[in-house]
Structure 1
Amino acid sequence: MPTVAVVYFSGTGHTKLMAEAVAAGASQVPGTEVKLLQITGEQIVNGRWQDPGILEELNRADGIIFGSPTYMGGVAAQFKAFVDAASAVWAQQGWKDKIAGGFTHSGSPSGDKQGTLLYLAINASQHSMVWVGNSEMGYNNEGVNRLGSFLGVMGFTVPDFSGQTPATLDEGDRLTSERYGRRIAEAVQRWKR
């Protein structure tokens, strides 16, 4: 059975909600197994990310969807530590020809999220993966792809700097994430044939 892994870091919960929506969309494709894998700060020991179980799940997956919040125009430090740790996989080209995609979230409509998606796509390309972009057209009544991103999926929530409000996700961003997960899973199914 083809497997799609969604590997992500989430600082305040918004990116986690996107990851769950991406996974839900991928799960809608019959015959697809979905793995939701969270990167955490606790996996970083002496400055190096370590979790052989997650790497093994990613090695077994047929498609990998990467997710990170955008912090200061790029991926979160915790996610970058994971990417650096995966360089051993890169050296062996262990993810070569796997389907790849990515998503990000920030606290402003732009927030330089394109930089994060470019980073994720470049990382996938260095691994010789096959990147799949977002195919949803914006300017619709559902709010799907409301931020107009085609490289991957972007989400935006006005930040609550008090930390008192639970994480939420705009309905359009949720739908976009879900449809993107389905698109990736369909691409994995076609690629596996």
Structure 2
Amino acid sequence: MSEPLSVVIAYHSGYGHTARQATAVAEGVDSVLGVRADLRDVSTLDEELWDAIDGAEAVIFGSPTYMGSTSAGFQRFAEASAPIWAERGWQDKLAAGFTNSAALNGNKDSALVSMAVLAGQHGMHWISLGLLPGWIYSSNGDPRDINRLGAFTGAMAQSPADQGPDLAPGDADLRTARHLGQRVAQTALRFVHGRTGASTLATA
């Protein structure tokens, strides 16, 4: 039996809320047979982190949205990847992203776009959330809807400032995060099988 494909969840979490979201993303990845999640807190920039990403088929970036952008901890990781960028080390890997903030909006799109730009600079293929918006998109919406915050670029979550990571983000946002992990894992399988098929045709 072949080794499962690896999907690294490379995240930074300031207070634990984004770490809770990252765990939900990992659950989504692990729900797909033949793929395994590898949670990596990018607060620690060591060889184990870089080796894990090097061996992964996909990387799902995660960061809280602070002051309308990714956190300083995530940005430190992004800037530390510059030598890999120069050597095209992540070229053609799959990528996706998720973010969390206390405000309902909080300019979370800015953080997701920053992650997508990072992926683009590395030559990676960005995977969207792939969901229609829930909740306030229509008068029949419910705050318990998946993708209740109406994201497209990646998975968004909202955690009230006075609630700890034991309570927030809530179930709807965690289910949205699981969906993202599952979608990336399924896409990784298709991507690898397509690449294998193309290679077979090329040598036939």
TM-score, normalised to structure 1, is 0.91
* Counterpart contact for 2:17–2:164, Cα < 8 Å: no
Structure 1 residue 6: Cα displacement: 0.4
1:60 matched to 2:55? The reply is yes
Q: Report the CA distance between 1:112 and its aligned residue.
A: 0.6
How far the C-alpha of 1:138 sits from its partner, in A, is: 2.3
Aligned residues: 183
CA contact (8 A) 1:143 1:171 kept: no
State whether residues 160 and 168 of structure 2, in contact with CA within 8 Å, keep that contact through their aligned partners in structure 1. Answer: no
- How far is the alpha carbon of 1:168 from its aligned partner? 1.9
The answer for the alignment partner of 1:111 in structure 2 is 106
Q: Partner residue of 2:130?
A: 135
One-letter code of the match for 2:155? V
Say if 1:189 and 1:87 are closer, same or farther in 2 by CA, change over 3 A: same
1:157 to 142, 156, 159: 159
1:114-172, Cα deviation, whole Å (9 max, x unpaired): 00000000000000000000012222554211110000011001102xx8774522111
1:34 is displaced (CA, Å) by: 1.3
Which structure has more relative contact order (CA 8 Å, sep 6+)? It is 1
What letter corresponds to residue 60 of structure 1 in structure 2? G
Which residue type is aligned with residue 132 of structure 2?
M
| Aligned Cα root-mean-square deviation (Å) | 1.5
Q: Does 1:191 align with 2:191?
A: yes
Task: Report what 1:14 is aligned to.
Answer: 17
Q: Give the SS at the match of 2:120.
A: helix
Give the whole-Å Cα distance in 2 for the aligned partners of 1:164 and 1:97. Answer: 37
Shift of 1:14: 0.8
Structure 1 residues without counterparts, runs of 5 or longer = 44-49
TM-score by length of 2: 0.86
Following superposition of structure 1 onto structure 2, how do residues 29-68 of structure 1 map, counting pairs within 5 Å? 29-40=32-43, 43=44, 50-68=45-63
Q: Using the alignment, how far apart are the partners of 2:165 and 2:41 within structure 1? A: 22
* Cα distance in 1, alignment partners of residues 26 and 18 from structure 2: 12
Report the Cα distance in structure 1 between the residues aligned to 2:166 and 2:42, rounded to whole angstroms.
20
Find runs of 4+ consecutive structure 1 residues off by over 3 angstroms.
163-167
| Aligned residue identity for 2:41 | Q
2:180 equivalent in structure 1: 180
- SS of the counterpart of 1:93? coil
Question: Is 1:26 aligned with 2:23?
Answer: no
1:33-74: per-residue Cα shift (whole Å, max 9, x none)?
21000122xx3xxxxxx3111011001100000000000010
Larger Cα-atom Rg: 2
Aligned residues of 1:13 and 1:167 also touching (Cα < 8 A):
no
Instruction: Return the alpha-carbon distance in structure 1 between the equivalents of residues 24 and 13 of structure 2.
Output: 14
Match for residue 74 of structure 2? 79
Contact preservation (8 Å) 1:12, 1:167: no
